[in-house]
C-alpha cells in the first residue's frame, strides 16, 4: 500500500468525492474515474498561486499553474498552440506604429462557478502592462511581457467578455500577453471589502478605468502578495484564493515552500470548460528530492529522476517489466562556451576555431553520459531544442555542421596556425556534476592528441567565477533554451546580464530587437534562425546535448507521456494520464485535437 495513498484514504477521499459529486456540488467530468488517485514524487516547491508574478517562479509553481490555469495559448515544442476552449486572440489592426489586439473569452468559469469575463481581462491588463503607473504611482509586480508597450486603458465589453488592447509597437507575444492569473471577483472582494462577487468585478473595472489610485493600491497589494503560499501550514489566507480555471483545482496544501515534505492535493475541476478533461480524480504532489526509483510502485505512481550511473540498472529493470520509462528534458542544453572578451586565449577567432575543431563533441557527450548515452542525443543549436518548431531549419540555415567540420588533422591545423604545442586552455565546469566532470576528462584527452593542454579549472560554483571575471577560457555548462527575445538578449546580446562569453554583435542585437516586434510566427521563426547563425558565425558555442530527465510511471498508469521544456514537462501532461484499463478519452465533437496555430 502506498504511503501517500494512505494519506488520501478514509475521510479525505470521501470529502474529495463529496465535493465533486453527490454532496450538492457539480458532478465531475465524465472522463473521471471515481476514486482514482495518482501519487507523484514532485520537485516543488509551491510558493505562489499567482503564476504571473515577476518573482522567480519555481518548477513547482509552474507545475501547479499548468493544471489550474487556463490560457489563450501555450508554447509547446517551440510552437504556439491556441486554446479556443478558453477564447480567441485576434489582431484587429497592425502598423509600424502600433497594434490593436482583441482578447475574446469563450465561456470559461472559475471553480466556484463565477464566470471569467472582462473584469478578469482588465485586471490582467492592469497588472501586466503597468499602464496605470504614471497616473496613479501604483506598481504591480508582474512578469515582463509585451503588455509593457500598452499604455492606453483597453476598450471592453463586459457582456461579450472581450477587451481590445492597444500596443504602441508590434509585440511578438501578443497571443499570450494577457495572462488571467487570478480571479478579479476575489481580488475585488478581498482588496476592496465587497461581499457580492459581481459588484466586486464592477469595482475592479471602475478602479482601472477611473484610475482610482487608492483602490488600485489595495488591488495591487493583494495581487502582489496575497496569493503567496506561506507559513508552516502552507495555507494561503482563504480558500477562494485557490480558485482554478484549469482541469484541476487545489484541494489542499500541506507544508510551506521551505519544507521538504510539502504536499499539494489537486482534484478534478468539475467546472472546467475545456474539451480535454482528466481521468484521475485526485493527484497528490509530494515534494521529494530523493529521486529513488525503488519508490515507484510503493510510495509513488509517477516520479522524475535524473539519469545517473547508479540508477541505470534499476530503471532498465523497470522498463523491462512494463513500467513507463520516458526520456524528456527541462529545457536546458549542455553547451561548451568560449570566452571572447579579450581576456581569454581564445579571443582570437583563428585560435578559437582551431581549438573548437580539435575535439569531437559527440564523443565528449558519449563519454560523459556513460550507460545513458542514448538519453543524450546530439543537439546542433542553442536557440532551439531538438524537435522544436524551427530546429530543422536552424540546422540547415545556421551552418553549424559546416562551421565546425574538421578540414584536416587537428594537430596539423594547430601547427599551421602557429599555435605552440601544449598551449594551455583553462576549462571551467561544475566540479559537483558527474556529467560535466566526465565531459571535461573526455575533452582533455581529445585535445591533448592535437597538442593542446586543457587545464582543470573545475569549481563547485562556476557561476561565481564568471560573475567576478575569474580565470577561464572555455566553460562546460547548461544553458536554458530561451523562450523570449529578452532571454536571448540576456545571454547573447551585447552587454547581456548573462552573457558569459563576452561576444558582441551589432547585427545580432538588431535581429533580437526585430524579433521582439515580429507578430507573424513564421517570420519570428526565421528571425530566430538568423540570430542562431550569428552565434555560429562567431564560433562561441558548441551545443552538446539536452540535459535529460527520466519520467517513471507505475504499471497502474497509462499515457504518461512527458513533453520537453522548462514549463511542467511531466506534471503538465497529467490531464492525459489514466488508470490502466480505463477507456481512452474521446475528443468532444467539434473540438480541434491539435489546436496549433501553424
Listed in sequence order, the DSSP H helices in 357-505 are 361-369, 391-397, 400-403, 410-416, 434-449, 462-467, 485-492
Q: For each of the chain's 598 residues, which pLDDT tens digit applies? A: 343 343 333 333 333 444 443 334 688 899 999 999 999 999 999 999 999 998 778 999 999 999 999 999 998 888 899 999 999 999 999 998 899 999 999 999 999 999 999 999 999 999 999 899 999 999 999 999 999 999 999 999 878 899 999 999 999 999 999 999 999 999 999 999 999 999 999 999 999 999 999 999 999 999 999 999 986 655 565 578 999 999 999 999 998 998 889 999 999 999 999 999 999 999 999 999 889 999 999 999 999 999 999 999 999 999 999 999 999 999 999 999 999 999 999 999 999 999 999 999 999 999 999 999 999 989 999 999 999 999 999 999 999 999 998 888 999 999 999 999 999 999 999 999 999 999 999 999 999 999 999 999 999 999 999 999 999 999 999 999 999 999 999 999 999 999 999 999 999 999 999 999 999 999 999 999 999 999 999 999 999 999 999 999 999 999 999 998 999 999 999 999 999 988 876 554 433 443 332 2
Q: What pLDDT, on the 0 to 100 scale, is given for residue 391?
A: 96
Provide the pLDDT for residue 23.
36
Q: Which residues contact 430 (CB under 8 A, 6 or more apart)?
A: 436, 437, 458, 459, 460, 462, 476, 477
Q: How many CB atoms lie within 10 A of CB 471?
A: 12
What is the pLDDT at residue 233? 58
Provide the pLDDT for residue 54: 85
Q: Which residues contact 9 (CB under 8 A, 6 or more apart)?
A: none
How far is it, in rounded angstroms, from Cα 403 to Cα 414? 17
Q: Which cell goes with 115?
A: 464566470
Helix (H, G, I), strand (E, B) or coil at 320: helix
Q: What is the pTM for the complete model shown?
A: 0.91
Distant-in-sequence, close-in-space partners of 473: CB < 8 Å, separation ≥ 6: 338, 339, 344, 345, 346, 425, 426, 427
Domains belonging to the chain, first-starting first, are 3-68+229-301+554-579 (3.40.190), 84-225 (3.90.76.10), 329-547 (3.10.105.10)
Q: What is the pLDDT of residue 78?
A: 86
Q: Is the dihedral of CA 567, 571, 575, 580 positive or negative?
A: positive
What does the block give as the cell for 585?
478519452
**What is the separation of C-alpha 117 from the centre of its chain, rounded to a whole number of angstroms?**
27
**Residue 272, helix vs strand vs coil:** coil
- Smallest CA-to-CA distance from 64 within 262, 232, 332, 233 is with 262
3-state DSSP call for residue 249? strand
| pLDDT number for residue 587 | 52
Amino acid at each position: 500500500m502506498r504511503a501517500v495513498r494512505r494519506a488520501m484514504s478514509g475521510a479525505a477521499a470521501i470529502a474529495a468525492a463529496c465535493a465533486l459529486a453527490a454532496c450538492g456540488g457539480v458532478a465531475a467530468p465524465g472522463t473521471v474515474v471515481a476514486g482514482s488517485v495518482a501519487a507523484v514524487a514532485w520537485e516543488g516547491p509551491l510558493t505562489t498561486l499567482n503564476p504571473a508574478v515577476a518573482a522567480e517562479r519555481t518548477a513547482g509553481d509552474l507545475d501547479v499553474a499548468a493544471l489550474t490555469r487556463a490560457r489563450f495559448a501555450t508554447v509547446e515544442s517551440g510552437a504556439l498552440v491556441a486554446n479556443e476552449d478558453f477564447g480567441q486572440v485576434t489582431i484587429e489592426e497592425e502598423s509600424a506604429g502600433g497594434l490593436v489586439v482583441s482578447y475574446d473569452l469563450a465561456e470559461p468559469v472559475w471553480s466556484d462557478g463565477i464566470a471569467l469575463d472582462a473584469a478578469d481581462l482588465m485586471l490582467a491588463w492592469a497588472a501586466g502592462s503597468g499602464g496605470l503607473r504614471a497616473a496613479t504611482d501604483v506598481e504591480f509586480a508582474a512578469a515582463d511581457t509585451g503588455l509593457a508597450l500598452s499604455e492606453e486603458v483597453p476598450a471592453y465589453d463586459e457582456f461579450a467578455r472581450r477587451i481590445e488592447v492597444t500596443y504602441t509597437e508590434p509585440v511578438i507575444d501578443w497571443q499570450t500577453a494577457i495572462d488571467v492569473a487570478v480571479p478579479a471577483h476575489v481580488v475585488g472582494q478581498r482588496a476592496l471589502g465587497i461581499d457580492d462577487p459581481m459588484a466586486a468585478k464592477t469595482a475592479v473595472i471602475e478602479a482601472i478605468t477611473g484610475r482610482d489610485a487608492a483602490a488600485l493600491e489595495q488591488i495591487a497589494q493583494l495581487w502582489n502578495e496575497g496569493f503567496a503560499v506561506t507559513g508552516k501550514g502552507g495555507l494561503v489566507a482563504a480558500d477562494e484564493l485557490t480558485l482554478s480555471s484549469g482541469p484541476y483545482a487545489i484541494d489542499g496544501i500541506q507544508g510551506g515552500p521551505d519544507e521538504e515534505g510539502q504536499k499539494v492535493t489537486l482534484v478534478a475541476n468539475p467546472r472546467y470548460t475545456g474539451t480535454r478533461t482528466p481521468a484521475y480524480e485526485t493527484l497528490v504532489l509530494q515534494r521529494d528530492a530523493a529521486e529513488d526509483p525503488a519508490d515507484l510502485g510503493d510510495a509513488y505512481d509517477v516520479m522524475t529522476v535524473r539519469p545517473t550511473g547508479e540508477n541505470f540498472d534499476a530503471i532498465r529493470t523497470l522498463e523491462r517489466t512494463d513500467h513507463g520509462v520516458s526520456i524528456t528534458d527541462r529545457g536546458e542544453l549542455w553547451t561548451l562556451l568560449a570566452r571572447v572578451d579579450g581576456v581569454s586565449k581564445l579571443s582570437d577567432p583563428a585560435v578559437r576555431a582551431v581549438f573548437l575543431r580539435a575535439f569531437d563533441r559527440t564523443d565528449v557527450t558519449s563519454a560523459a553520459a556513460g550507460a545513458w548515452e542514448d538519453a543524450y542525443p546530439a543537439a546542433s543549436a542553442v536557440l532551439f531544442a531538438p524537435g522544436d518548431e524551427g530546429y530543422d531549419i536552424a540546422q540547415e540555415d545556421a551552418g553549424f555542421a559546416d562551421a565546425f567540420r574538421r578540414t584536416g588533422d587537428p594537430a596539423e591545423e594547430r601547427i599551421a596556425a602557429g599555435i605552440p604545442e601544449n598551449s594551455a586552455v583553462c576549462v571551467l565546469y561544475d566540479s559537483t556534476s558527474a556529467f560535466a566532470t566526465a565531459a571535461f576528462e573526455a575533452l582533455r584527452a581529445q585535445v591533448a592528441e592535437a597538442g593542446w593542454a586543457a587545464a582543470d579549472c573545475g569549481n563547485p560554483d562556476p557561476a561565481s567565477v564568471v560573475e567576478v571575471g575569474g580565470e577561464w577560457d572555455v566553460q562546460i555548462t547548461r544553458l536554458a533554451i530561451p523562450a523570449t527575445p529578452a532571454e536571448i538578449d540576456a545571454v547573447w546580446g551585447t552587454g547581456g546580464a548573462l552573457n558569459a562569453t563576452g561576444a558582441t554583435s551589432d547585427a545580432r542585437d538588431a535581429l533580437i530587437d526585430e524579433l521582439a516586434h515580429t507578430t507573424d510566427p513564421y517570420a519570428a521563426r526565421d528571425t530566430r534562425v538568423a540570430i542562431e547563425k550569428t552565434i555560429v558565425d562567431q564560433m562561441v558555442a558548441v551545443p552538446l546535448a539536452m540535459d535529460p530527465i527520466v519520467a517513471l510511471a507505475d504499471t497502474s498508469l497509462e499515457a504518461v507521456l512527458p513533453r520537453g521544456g522548462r514549463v511542467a514537462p511531466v506534471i503538465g501532461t497529467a490531464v492525459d494520464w489514466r488508470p490502466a484499463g480505463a477507456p481512452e478519452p474521446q475528443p468532444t465533437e467539434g473540438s480541434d485535437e491539435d489546436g496549433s496555430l501553424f
